[in-house]
Amino acid sequence: MAFVDDLKNAGLTEYEGKAYQTLLLQGDQLSREVAENSGVPVTRVFDVLERLREKGLVVLVTPHPFLWRAVDPGIGIKNFIRAKIELYGKLEKSLVADAKRMKKTKKRKD
């Protein structure tokens, strides 16, 4: 479970972490199989897998039936983390600039 906890710390949900781990360990699976093997509810598994696809961690191999594959971790996880770092870098700059503007505005009012 430590792997799933680390994925959660990186920004995935519990279900995303469990589904991704399942695909890494067990290989290509249908949506239903991912649900059965990961503990993700069948009613949620497609949305979970689709979010993982958007994050670059899984690919849809075939659309009918939906067959999923984990992206190689050296590529998928690396790109996911790099995207997070880039996002946080932009957020940091934006928040610092906003905070400085607020501070200047407060001084003018005083």
Cα-only R_g, the chain = 19
Name the stretches of the chain with pLDDT < 50.
none
**pLDDT for res 42:** 96
What pTM value is reported for the model?
A: 0.84
The tens digit of pLDDT for each residue in 24-42 reads 999 999 999 999 999 999 9
Domain that holds residue 84: 2-109
pLDDT computed for residue 105 by the predictor = 79
| Residue 104: predicted pLDDT | 80
Measured CA to CA, the distance from residue 50 to residue 42 in angstroms comes to 13
Chain CA centroid to CA 96, Å:
26
Number of domains the chain is built from? 1
CATH code for the domain of 67: 1.10.10.10
